[in-house]
A and B are shown apart, each in its own frame.
Chain A
Amino acid sequence: MSLAKRIIPCLDVRDGRVVKGVQFVNIKDAGDPVEVAKRYDDEGADEITFLDITASHEGRDTLIHMVEAIADQVFIPLTVGGGIRKSEDVRTMLNAGADKVAVNSAAIFNPNLINQLSEEFGSQCIVIAIDAKKVADNKWEIFTHGGRKSTGIDAVEWALKMTKGDHGAGEVLLTSMDCDGVKTGFDLALTKAVTGAVSVPVIASGGVGNLAHLSEGILQGGADAVLAASIFHFGEYTVQQAKQAMQENGIEVRL
């Protein structure tokens, strides 16, 4: 008996509602975030991640109230990402009840940001979110703007750089932009390349369409946690079913 692999349902949130799109377009409504979070908590989710895809300031305030409302009722780790650019954003989210914040594009524009945030808040609450897209065999680059804009940065090197040293990020949230929403499984080669390179835990994300995909992310990709959205949102599977399937594949889970 030792550390369990984690299942993390992810809520993409826009203007206070859970939404889900395919490759960041064709957005569908998936419910009230507080209700959805409570349901996942009841089903045995190990953590919950919220990714805010709201652009407006009004939406930002809605998100803060939403995190507060969820943290009042759900006593498992909560991660919030989307629009985290500076120390003040991190503090606001932690004060609202988040336990970790995921930093994505802001780290690309300011490569020192992760170091600053980890030093201030502790690396345990700073997650580096990486959106990677395949550009050649066994080569992935970091993309921004919902996968439309390449930065030319190598994803594996970036993951290493952002997690190195005493003030690196404490965790990597790795999303394959090619697989996100497509439901054909994780990009296992990408997952394996990153989990093999970094010394911190890696959450595999993007592409889960059935329960077997979750186990693949752990067993073949080497991930420490798996993140999925649509298979849970629309009632296809419960988190409990997902955990049972993983356990049947010999993976240690919290049941």
Chain B
Amino acid sequence: MQSIAIVDYGMGNVRSVQKALEHVAPNDKIFLTDDVGLITDADRIVFPGQGAMGACMRALNTHGLVEAMKQAAGEKPFLGICLGLQLLFDHSQENSGTDGLSIFSGNVVHFPETELKIPHMGWNTVKQTQTHPLWHNIKDNARFYSVHSYYVKQNDSSVVAGLSNYGIDFTCAAAKDNIFAVQFHPEKSQHDGLKLLENFVNWKP
């Protein structure tokens, strides 16, 4: 039995992430926590995020989690979801500018103002731009559920693992070593989302 820590710093609904993981890994120990020790000891880390980036970074700082997150991202299977992708980058335009964890190089920017509705909300196709164990048994261009107004612009194109299009092509999945992070919500993306979570649970990077 392995342990999977879902980092819960009180910023939103992470119960659905837990429920989905429990569904795909009924024998594993899956828990919500903001405790540095538990995060350090867990076998795998899931880093969701909701709300605004500024508030999330403040909460991570308040809970003393910044170093623990950086350490976890450096050494064990790590899945970022939604804001959990954005927070891995250097800087976001959100909340008049917020610094992230700088695990990936690049910035988080607002979708350009066009006739398209913002937030980008709903089921969009995801083009898999690299072969990755987390895409195992998921068809290229499968649809995943997203809701966000900002997207990531990486400096190093080798981290791009998936692209979606909403007026522009944008990175909706990024991967490097033991880290995989997605803009969409696998926990809300029905069969393909559950498959991705199952792939994560079984992933041996």
Contact = CB atoms under 8 A, between A and B. Distances in A.
**A and B: real partners?**
yes
Contact of B12 (A71, A72, A122): A122
A75 B20 contact: yes
A2 B125 contact: yes
Given A4-B143, A75-B193, A124 B121 contact: yes
A77 interface: yes
Contacts, number: 97
A94 B11 CA distance: 11
Given A3-B166, A124-B148, A72 B123 contact: no
A4 B188 contact: no
A170 interface: yes
Interface in A65-103: 71-72, 75-77, 94-99
A129 to B, nearest CB: 16
| Number of chain A interface residues as a range | 20 to 34
A35 B4 CA distance: 30
Contacts of A200: 117-119
A200 B145 CA distance: 16
Given A4-B123, A75-B193, A170 B147 contact: yes
6 contacts: A75-B19, A75-B187, A76-B145, A94-B13, A120-B51, A122-B51
Interface of A: 1-6, 41, 46, 71-72, 75-77, 94-99, 120-125, 170-171, 199-202, 224-225, 254
Given A5-B122, A95-B13, A199-B118, 5 more contacts: A1-B165, A71-B15, A76-B145, A99-B13, A199-B117
A-B pairs, 7 with minimum CB distance:
A122-B51, A94-B13, A1-B125, A254-B123, A124-B147, A4-B123, A201-B117
